[in-house]
């Protein structure tokens, strides 16, 4: 029996038996091998008996040995021959059973593993291909077997790959090596591979067994963690900086107030005391707003408890009524598509998204004839796309890459969280938002209907 997992033909065109056929017939071949052993064992035993018996009879007939000695010889010969043949039969049977066990185990591991498990020969041709490999790379077993391993390796192979090959040849094993691989459709993805060198009985390399794991989600989570840590660091820096000023002012005002209360009361001292009290109130309100903004930002990324079919057009209309004073004062014309569609979402979340974007568009539009547009870009399945744009000066190129970073100080010196809140809410609904300039600032985003559970 020859292995369909690691056996390599001299011409390198794959394993001696196809893996699928081998798995289907493995048990049958095992039984057939045992039957062949028995077919060999019993005739060999019978022939040996006949030959030995004939020799013994010849010796008795010629007077070489007595009849008693002949019987004794036959008994001893049968015992020794049977013992020897049974031992050989047992050893061969155990060897076949061992091969069957490991072959079955390897095939089972390949089929149940969610990772890609495959082998290659010394000519870098694929000699086995698991179901996990089919799922990850997109190549069927028929397409992969016999093909070059280069079909899954990007054109620009990282320099670290060469080091990995040196390690494999030196140590015979690579564990947990991170690299990049290519799918059938040409897309690249991060992967973690463990490779074991396959050798012949003389210790010469004949191929390699690879176990590969798609770590796309893991890398994305790591990048998100790095981003979250960077945001947290930014929060701590900005909040500590912005809180110092109002707290210091309140402390100074609190120290000044008792001094004013000790002097003779005049209109001037009363005016000064009123200013000090007003300063304390103003700075306390500023500090409270900063803390409230942080709480709002934290809650923005949470899954909603209640969702409904939100009428986006009606929601935008309510927001514009609230902003009527600002739009009238600046002379802003707001254009809203007649049909804004509906999204399955939390109404408060949708209010925060559109209110922040429309308020920013009105606030930062310095055009002589300011216009703000709220556009329905259409629906694709369960995903709705919107665009909020203005005809103002647009966003500075230096700010485009960091405009959604919380507490990022913008062109006007403020450190708000409106756009950060919008990005987090959009993320809750498996959407994305991008900012760009096109005759003004543009914010295009998608919202996917929320599915509970």
Residue 408's domain is classified under what CATH number?
3.30.565.10
Per the domain annotation, does 14 fall within a domain? Answer: no
270 and 288 fall within a common domain: yes
Per the domain annotation, does 2 fall within a domain? Answer: no
337 and 411 fall within a common domain: yes
* Res. 76 pLDDT band, cuts 50 70 90: confident
Mean pLDDT of 203-218: 86
Domain that holds residue 67: 19-112
171-189: pLDDT as tens digits: 677 888 888 899 999 999 9
Per the domain annotation, does 10 fall within a domain? Answer: no
364 and 409 fall within a common domain: yes
Measured between alpha carbons, how far is 106 from 125 in angstroms, rounded to an integer?
20
Name which of 241-250, 289-298, 306-315, 353-362 the model is least confident about. 289-298
Per the domain annotation, does 9 fall within a domain? Answer: no
State how many domains the chain has.
Answer: 4
272-324: pLDDT as tens digits: 888 878 878 877 776 776 666 556 655 556 677 788 999 999 999 999 998 88
Per the domain annotation, does 7 fall within a domain? Answer: no
Q: What secondary structure does DSSP assign to 112-179, as a single string?
A: H-SSEEEEEETTSBEEEE-HHHHHHH---HHHHTTSBGGGGS-SS--THHHHHHHHHHHHSEEEEEEE
Strand 173-182: give its sheet, edge to edge: 126-129, 116-121, 205-214, 188-199, 173-182
Query: Quick one: what percent of the chain has pLDDT higher than 70?
Result: 68
68 and 137 fall within a common domain: no
Query: Quick one: what percent of the chain has pLDDT higher than 90?
Result: 21
Measured between alpha carbons, how far is 230 from 272 in angstroms, rounded to an integer?
43
425 and 312 fall within a common domain: yes
208 and 224 fall within a common domain: no
Name which of 282-286, 392-396, 408-412 the model is least confident about. 408-412
> Which of the listed residues 196, 214, 232 is the one where a domain comes to its end?
214
> Which of the listed residues 195, 214, 233 is the one where a domain comes to its end?
214
104 and 24 fall within a common domain: yes
32 and 78 fall within a common domain: yes
Q: How confident is the prediction for the chain on average, in pLDDT?
A: 76
Say if residue 234's pLDDT is above 70.
no
For residue 151, the domain's CATH number is 3.30.450.20
Per the domain annotation, does 11 fall within a domain? Answer: no
Mean pLDDT of 62-88: 71
Say if residue 340's pLDDT is above 70.
yes
142 and 244 fall within a common domain: no
Choose between 300 and 404: higher pLDDT: 404
Per the domain annotation, does 8 fall within a domain? Answer: no
Mean pLDDT of 264-270: 79
Mean pLDDT of 131-157: 88
* Res. 168 pLDDT band, cuts 50 70 90: low
Total residues found in the chain within this entry: 453
> Which of the listed residues 298, 329, 352 is the one where a domain comes to its end?
298
Name which of 60-74, 102-116, 344-358 the model is least confident about. 102-116
Measured between alpha carbons, how far is 315 from 97 in angstroms, rounded to an integer?
72
DSSP symbol at 300: H
120 and 99 fall within a common domain: no
List, in sequence order, every residue forming a beta bridge with 379; answer none if it has no partner: 384
Say if residue 1's pLDDT is above 50.
no
19-70: pLDDT as tens digits: 444 444 445 555 666 666 667 767 777 777 777 777 767 777 776 667 777 7
Per the domain annotation, does 453 fall within a domain? Answer: no
Strands 371-380 and 333-336: parallel
Say if residue 333's pLDDT is above 60.
yes
The highest-confidence range among 67-81, 319-333, 344-358, 369-383, by mean pLDDT, is 369-383
Measured between alpha carbons, how far is 278 from 203 in angstroms, rounded to an integer?
87
320 and 407 fall within a common domain: yes
Say if residue 75's pLDDT is above 90.
no
Mean pLDDT of 407-432: 73
* Res. 379 pLDDT band, cuts 50 70 90: very high
153 and 274 fall within a common domain: no
């Amino acid at each position: 029996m020859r292995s369909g997992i690691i056996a390599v033909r001299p011409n390198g065109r794959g394993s001696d038996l196809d893996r699928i056929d081998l798995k289907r017939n493995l048990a049958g071949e095992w039984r057939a091998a045992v039957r062949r052993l028995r077919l060999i064992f019993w005739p060999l035993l019978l022939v040996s008996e006949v030959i030995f018996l004939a020799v013994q009879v010849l010796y008795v007939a010629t007077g070489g040995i007595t009849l008693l000695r002949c019987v004794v010889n036959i008994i001893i010969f049968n015992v020794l021959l049977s013992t020897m043949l049974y031992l050989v039969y047992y050893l061969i049977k155990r060897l076949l059973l061992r091969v069957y066990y490991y072959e079955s185990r390897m095939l089972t591991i390949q089929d149940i593993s969610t990772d890609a498990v495959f082998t290659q020969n010394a000519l870098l041709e694929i000699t086995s291909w698991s179901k996990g490999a089919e799922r990850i790379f997109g190549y069927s077993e028929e397409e992969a077997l016999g093909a070059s391993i280069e079909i899954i390796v990007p054109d620009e192979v990282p320099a670290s790959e060469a080091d990995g090959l040196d390690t494999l040849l030196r140590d015979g094993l690579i564990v947990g090596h991170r690299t990049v691989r290519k799918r059938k459709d040409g897309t690249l993805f991060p992967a973690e591979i463990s490779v074991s060198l396959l050798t012949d009985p003389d210790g010469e390399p004949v191929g390699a067994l690879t176990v590969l794991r798609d770590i796309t989600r893991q890398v994305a989570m790591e990048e998100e963690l790095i981003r979250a840590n960077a945001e947290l660091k930014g929060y701590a820096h900005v909040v500590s900086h912005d809180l110092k000023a109002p707290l210091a002012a309140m402390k100074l005002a609190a120290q000044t107030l008792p001094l004013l209360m000790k002097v003779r009361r005049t209109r001037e001292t009363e005016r000064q005391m009123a200013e000090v009290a007003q300063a304390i109130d103003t700075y306390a309100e500023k500090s409270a707003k900063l803390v409230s903004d942080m709480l709002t930002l934290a809650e923005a990324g949470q899954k909603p408890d209640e969702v409904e079919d939100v009428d986006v057009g009606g929601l935008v209309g309510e927001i514009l009524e609230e902003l009527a004073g600002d739009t009238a004062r600046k002379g802003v014309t707001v254009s809203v598509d007649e049909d804004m569609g509906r999204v399955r979402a939390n109404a408060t979340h949708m209010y925060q998204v559109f209110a922040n974007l429309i308020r920013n568009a009105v606030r930062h539009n310095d055009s002589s004839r300011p216009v703000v547009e709220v556009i329905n870009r259409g629906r694709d399945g369960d995903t709705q796309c919107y665009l909020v744009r203005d005809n103002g000066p647009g966003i500075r190129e230096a700010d485009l890459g960091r405009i959604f970073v919380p507490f990022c100080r913008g062109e006007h010196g403020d450190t708000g969280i409106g756009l950060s809140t919008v990005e987090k809410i959009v993320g809750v609904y498996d959407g994305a938002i991008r900012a760009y300039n096109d005759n003004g600032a543009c914010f295009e985003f998608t919202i996917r209907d929320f599915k509970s559970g």
